[in-house]
Amino acid sequence: MQTPKTLYEKLVHSHTVCELDDQGHVLLYVDRQVLNEYTSPQAFSGLRDAGRELWRANTHLAVVDHVNSTEPKRVSVKSEEGGALQVNYFDKNCADFGIELFDILDSRQGIEHVVAPEQGFILPGMVVAAGDSHTTTYGALGALGFGIGTSEIEHLLATQTLIYKKLKTMRVNVEGKLGFGITSKDVVMELIRLIGASGATGYAIEFSGSTIHKMSVEARMTICNMAVEAGARGAYMAPDEAVFEYLKEKPKAPKGRLWLDAVAKWRELFTDEQAVFDKEIHIQADKIEPLVTWGTSPDQVVVISDQVPNPRDHIDESKRRGMERALNYMGIKAGTAMKDISITHAFIGSCTNARIEDLREVAKVLKGRQIAEGVRGMIVPGSSEVRAQAQKEGLADIFIQAGFEWRQSGCSMCLAMNDDVLNPGDRCASSTNRNFEGRQGAGVRTHLMSPAMVAASAVKGKLYDVRNLGDQ
Amino acid sequence: MDAFKTVSGKVAPMLASNIDTDVIMPKQFLKGIDRNGLDRGVFFDQRFLSTGELNPEFVLNKAKWRGAKFLAVGANFGCGSSREHAVWGLKQLGIRALIGTSFAGIFYDNCQRNGLLVIELENQDMARFSKQVATGQIVDLEIDLVQQLIKPSAKEHISFTLDPLRKEALLKGLDAIGSTLQYAELIKEFETKHLQQNPWLS
What is the C-alpha to C-alpha distance for residues B117 and A142, in angstroms, rounded to an integer? 34
| A202 part of contact set with chain B, CB < 8 Å | yes
What is the C-alpha to C-alpha distance for residues A464 and A292, in angstroms, rounded to an integer? 10
Dihedral of CA atoms B36, B111, B149, B66 in degrees, nearest 10, equals: 40
What is the C-alpha to C-alpha distance for residues A420 and B32, in angstroms, rounded to an integer? 18
CB-based contact B16 A165, cutoff 8 Å: no
| A199 part of contact set with chain B, CB < 8 Å | no
| A263 part of contact set with chain B, CB < 8 Å | no
Residues 215-254 of A with CB under 8 A from B: 231, 233, 254
> Can you tell me the mean pLDDT for B66-83?
97
Chain B residues in contact with A131 (beta carbon < 8 A): 82
CB-based contact A149 B82, cutoff 8 Å: yes
DSSP-derived pairing of the beta strands B6-14 and B140-144: antiparallel
pLDDT given for residue B155 in this prediction: 86
CB-based contact B26 A438, cutoff 8 Å: yes
Nearest Cα residue to A386 out of A349, A441, A428: A349
Nearest Cα residue to A410 out of A322, A347, A337, A320: A347
Question: CB of A447 within 8 A of CB of A343?
Answer: yes
pLDDT in tens, B148-189: 999 998 888 999 999 999 999 999 998 899 999 999 999 999
Read off the pLDDT band of A472 (50, 70, 90). Answer: very low
Read off the pLDDT band of A467 (50, 70, 90). Answer: very high
Of A155, A322, A417, the CB nearest to B30: A417
Chain A residues in contact with B107 (beta carbon < 8 A): 149
What is the C-alpha to C-alpha distance for residues B40 and B49, in angstroms, rounded to an integer? 13
pLDDT in tens, A311-355: 999 888 888 889 999 999 999 999 999 999 999 999 999 999 999
Nearest Cα residue to B73 out of B43, B48, B101, B108: B101
3-state secondary structure of B65: coil
- Pick the residue from chain A with its C-alpha nearest to B103: A201
3-state secondary structure of B41: helix
The ipTM, to two decimals, is 0.97
- Pick the residue from chain A with its C-alpha nearest to B20: A436
CB-based contact B176 A163, cutoff 8 Å: yes
Nearest Cα residue to A193 out of A40, A335, A297, A66: A297
> Can you tell me the mean pLDDT for A408-435?
96
- Pick the residue from chain B with its C-alpha nearest to A412: B27
Read off the pLDDT band of A82 (50, 70, 90). Answer: low
Contacts of residue A57, defined as CB under 8 A and 6 or more positions apart, other chains included, come to A97, A98, A99
Of B84, B165, B187, the CB nearest to A159: B187
CB-based contact A265 B80, cutoff 8 Å: no
Question: CB of B138 within 8 A of CB of B155?
Answer: no
> Can you tell me the mean pLDDT for A191-206?
98
Chain B residues in contact with A437 (beta carbon < 8 A): 22-23, 45
Phi first, then psi: give them for residue A295, nearest 5 degrees.
-115, -145
DSSP-derived pairing of the beta strands A445-448 and A427-430: parallel
- Pick the residue from chain B with its C-alpha nearest to A135: B82
Q: How far is A76 from chain B (nearest CA, A)?
A: 18
Q: How far is B153 from chain A (nearest CA, A)?
A: 27
pLDDT given for residue A123 in this prediction: 98
> Can you tell me the mean pLDDT for A412-421?
94
DSSP-derived pairing of the beta strands A25-29 and A16-19: antiparallel
pTM score above 0.80? yes
Chain B residues in contact with A50 (beta carbon < 8 A): 177
> Can you tell me the mean pLDDT for A180-204?
98
DSSP-derived pairing of the beta strands A168-175 and A279-284: parallel
User: Within 13 Å, how many C-alpha atoms sit on residue B19's CB side?
Assistant: 25
Phi first, then psi: give them for residue A124, nearest 5 degrees.
-55, 145
Distance of CA B159 to CAs A22, B99, B111, B121, B182, Å? 22, 12, 20, 8, 33
Q: Tell me, what DSSP letter sits at residue B85?
A: H
Sheet holding A25-29, edge to edge: A16-19, A25-29, A161-165
| A298 part of contact set with chain B, CB < 8 Å | no
pLDDT given for residue A77 in this prediction: 57
Chain B residues in contact with A231 (beta carbon < 8 A): 76, 79, 104-105
What is the C-alpha to C-alpha distance for residues A321 and B151, in angstroms, rounded to an integer? 29
Read off the pLDDT band of A83 (50, 70, 90). Answer: confident
Q: Cα B5 to the chain's mean position, in Å? A: 15
CB-based contact A202 B105, cutoff 8 Å: yes
What is the C-alpha to C-alpha distance for residues A200 and A130, in angstroms, rounded to an integer? 20
Q: Which of A65, A228, A252 to mutate to test binding with chain B, by most B CBs within 10 Å of its CB?
A: A228
Question: Per this entry, what is the length of chain B?
Answer: 202
Nearest Cα residue to B88 out of B60, B114, B70: B114
Q: How far is B160 from chain A (nearest CA, A)?
A: 16
In the chain, the amino acid numbered A405 is E
What is the C-alpha to C-alpha distance for residues A400 and A17, in angstroms, rounded to an integer? 52
pLDDT given for residue A1 in this prediction: 64
What is the C-alpha to C-alpha distance for residues A225 and A439, in angstroms, rounded to an integer? 18
**What secondary structure, in 3-state letters, does chain A show?**
CCCCCCHHHHHHHCCEEEECCCCCEEEEECCEEEECCCCCHHHHHHHHHHCCCCCCHHHEEEECCCCCCCCCCCCCCCCCHHHHHHHHHHHHHHHHHCCEEECCCCCCCECHHHHHHHCCCCCCCCEEEECCHHHHHHHHHCCEEEECCHHHHHHHHHHCEEEEECCEEEEEEEECCCCCCCCHHHHHHHHHHHHCCCCCCCEEEEEECHHHHHCCHHHHHHHHHHHHHHCCCCEECCCCHHHHHHHCCCCCCCCHHHHHHHHHHHCCCCCCCCCCCCEEEEEEHHHCCCEEECCCCCCCEEECCCECCCHHHCCCHHHHHHHHHHHHHHCCCCCCEHHHCECCEEEECCCCCCCHHHHHHHHHHHCCCCCCCCCEEEECCCEHHHHHHHHHCCHHHHHHHHCEEECCCCCHHHCCCCCCCCCCCCEEEECCCCCCCCCCCCCCEEEECCHHHHHHHHHHCECCCHHHCCCC
Chain A residues in contact with B15 (beta carbon < 8 A): 318
Q: Which of A159, A257, A258 to mutate to test binding with chain B, by most B CBs within 10 Å of its CB?
A: A159
CB-based contact B82 A82, cutoff 8 Å: no
Q: Cα A59 to the chain's mean position, in Å? A: 21
| A155 part of contact set with chain B, CB < 8 Å | yes
Residues 428-467 of A with CB under 8 A from B: 434, 436-439, 442
- Pick the residue from chain B with its C-alpha nearest to A266: B198
- How many CB pairs lie under 8 A apart between chains A and B? 189
pLDDT in tens, A136-175: 999 999 999 999 999 999 999 999 999 999 999 999 999 9
Question: CB of A426 within 8 A of CB of A441?
Answer: yes
CB-based contact B79 A198, cutoff 8 Å: yes
CB-based contact A149 B106, cutoff 8 Å: yes
Question: CB of B42 within 8 A of CB of B24?
Answer: yes
Q: At what angle do helices A356-366 and A395-402 cross, to 10 degrees?
A: 50
CB-based contact A231 B74, cutoff 8 Å: no
- Pick the residue from chain B with its C-alpha nearest to A439: B22
Nearest Cα residue to B27 out of B38, B19, B16, B18: B38
